Structure 1
Amino acid sequence: MALVRLAVTAGEPAGVGPELLVRLAATPLAASLVAITDRRLLERAARRCGVSIELIDDDGSPIDSRAACTLRVRHVPLEADEVPGQPDPRNASHVLATLAEAADGCLAGRYAAVVTAPLQKSSINDAGIAFSGHTEFFARRAGAEVVMMLASPQLRVALATTHLPLAAVPAAITPVLLTRVLRIVDAELRGKFGIDQPRIAVLGLNPHAGEGGHLGREEIDTMIPVLDALRGEGMHLLGPLPADTAFVPAQRAHYDAVLAMYHDQALPVLKSEAFDRTVNLTLGLPFIRTSVDHGTALDLAGTGRADPSSLIAAARLALLLVARGQEQHGP
């Protein structure tokens, strides 16, 4: 039986992504790994890591097995050779080209899923290209409405807003946004995670979920009417809940996922307890996309010491979601 083809992007060339990708390839993961990046970048990363890796030009053909330390490559050339720890805006076009190939390849059926290593958003913006992140890029490329979720073995957290300044969050939490996000999360918990009746805990925006309007009225004026309307459609929604107590063990038993209102409201909890096992995934895309839950770690780039655990977890989750989709819909 042919192995699942996973596209893997290397992210920021000057970051730890290329080294993580090489270490992923050194594992016996049962997948046809296709690195979308510069072949020479991988060769240099392998030398820094002290890993002997066989790089094979990808011709798109299926394979039934993969030996550890072998990696197929879809070559996308760098504009300038990387200097570890020093992102170069000249390579912004290279990074975006790797993401475009991964997305377009998934849409065309060349890859079953894409797994992404971390990139440096500031370097792309320094090149004069407006860019806010992987999630937003893939959403535009696929013409899809999406939601960012981070998942560990113990906890799943989706975000109503992603890379917004905190001052812009209250105005962004609208009935239209909340309705769209909750419908996507509910549908993907059913479709991707196989949960028949998902239970979603919705965090309030304000301390103590507004405390009856004394600490803010967003819960009363915006959130509660949306949650009540969606409950009327059959969704199982808890909240709005105070964020400071929503993650205690007694609460966790009552939900399958959490919807946080902004990026740092819930992610510190997740990352503090399972940083090396947490995976970033994009809900709502017409293909599977998973990623590491950390940044480019420029201080570690070039040392060969970066921990590949999150990238390995992302690849394993991608394989699990592909297998679950095949069980539901056929290969």
Structure 2
Amino acid sequence: MTLPESAARAIAITQGDCAGIGPETIAKAFRDAPETLRGCFIVGELQTLRRAAAAVTRAGDTALPVAVIDHPEEAWSVPPRCLPLLPLAGLPGPAPWGEISRDAGVAAARCVEWAATAALQGRIAALVTAPLHKEALALAGVDFPGHTELLQAAAAAHAGVTLAEMPVRMMLANDELRTVLVSIHMSLRDALEAVTEPQVRETLRITHLALSRTLGRAPRIAVAGLNPHAGEGGLFGREEIETIAPAIAAARAQGMDVHGPFAPDTVFMRARNAPGHPGEFDVVLAMYHDQGLIPVKYLGVEQGVNVTLGLPLVRTSPDHGTAFDIAGQGIADASSLIAAVHMARQLLG
């Protein structure tokens, strides 16, 4: 069988912050899910990956070998339960477990930048990003607070457009629930100011286009209100009446299947797709970060996947952070990383 062009290219997994659980969850994923990880490779630093392999070695076993490759396509020829690594020259080595450091931020950012460039140039099929630490990024002098913003900047520079001309949104998804955010990493006060009709309308557009490709049909989109009870007819705030409802009306006029605004405390339950409870909607549009992420993460971070919508590339990530408190102990769960690889393959078609 001939693979689609995107499937024939390899998927890059960035090592994440080397002081956190990213490298060891990557090692576990290659150990425990070799078929899923076939055709994937790690972008990172050799000693960091060797340390991660040692951290997850079980009693009586030998550490997973690291197979250094020079080109992404070589990942397909690496035997199962090896760690195919494309090392970047000059990356700082492993930082102490659980410590915020500039060097860890530098290494994490450089890996993401390399993978983004490779994806934009068509040299890899997709990228899966292990968690980075935002304080370490800041110490490294990176001007962006996280993966989403860093990738947006890389894509905009590649296309020769401004950041405003490359709008992106964060989607968090698992088998039961998807949610897309109007705003991402900013203070709650600033997030409230970001709830504008153009922002909501743009989020609906990006969500509709992305999920139409994934589902093969127009997605059923529910929109959460901003205020308790979705404003209760203006008693608890007028954003639903003056901002959110007009954006919904504009989207519906363009043929999108959009409903709301609904009370934020119940709409996620209505959208949840569980055994015996088919969800009413394919996705919920949330007005700010915690409104949308708490419901998905409450269902379990093990299967949650972060997807960046609006980019001219496929990027997924596990639904957890660096977990400095358990880093290096070999107990971190790799399920979310494995789910992120699955999701990347689904998005590639």
> Aligning the two structures, in what range does the TM-score lie when normalised by the shorter sequence?
over 0.9
Structure-2 change in CA distance of 1:196 and 1:10 (3 Å): same
Report the counterpart of residue 327 of structure 1 in structure 2. none
1:119-268 matches, cutoff 5 A: 119-143=132-156, 144-191=166-213, 193-249=214-270, 253-268=279-294
Select 2:66's aligned residue among 37, 44, 54: 54
Cα RMSD, aligned residues only:
1.8
One-letter code aligned to 1:280: N
Matched-pair contact (CA < 8 Å) for 2:64–2:83 = no
Matches within 5 A, 1:288-307: 288-307=314-333
Q: Aligned equivalents of 2:143 and 2:270: distance in 1?
A: 41
Preserved CA contact (<8 Å) 1:12 1:87: no
Deviations 1:274-319 (A, max 9, x none): 3200100001111100001111000111111111110010011111
Report the secondary structure of 1:280's partner residue: strand
Aligned mates of 1:250, 1:32 — CA distance in 2: 34
Aligned equivalents of 1:203, 1:99: Cα separation in 2: 32
Q: 1:82 aligns with which of 95, 104, 109?
A: 95
Residue 5 in 1 paired to residue 31 in 2?
Answer: no
Q: Is the 8 A contact 2:201 2:250 kept in 1?
A: no
With the length of structure 1 as denominator, give the TM-score of the two structures.
Answer: 0.92
The one-letter code matched in structure 2 to 1:28 is P
- Show the 5 A alignment for 1:63-78: 67-76=79-88, 77-78=90-91
Unaligned runs of 5+ in 2: 58-62, 157-165, 274-278
Q: Which residue of 2 aligns with 1:91?
A: 104
Matched residue, 2:116: 103
Deviation at 1:19, TM superposition (A): 0.5
Structure 1 contact 33–71 (Cα < 8 Å) conserved: no
Residues 316, 344 of structure 2: 8 Å contact kept: yes
Alignment CA distance shift 1:251-1:14 (3 Å): closer
1:284 and 2:310 equivalent? yes
User: In the TM superposition, what whole-angstrom CA distance separates every residue of 1:30-70 from its partner, at most 9, and x where no partner exists?
Assistant: 43112111011101111111132232323233565653212
Q: Give the corresponding residue for 2:336.
A: 310
Moved more, 235-244 or 48-57: 48-57
> How does the TM-score come out when normalised to structure 2?
0.88
CA distance in structure 2 between the partners assigned to 1:291 and 1:75 by the alignment = 20
Deviation for aligned residue 1:178: 1.1
In the alignment, the residues of structure 2 paired with residue 235 and residue 266 of structure 1 have an alpha-carbon distance, to the nearest angstrom, of 21
Q: Between the two proteins, what is the percent identity of the paired residues?
A: 39
Aligned residues: 322
Give the drift of 1:248.
2.5
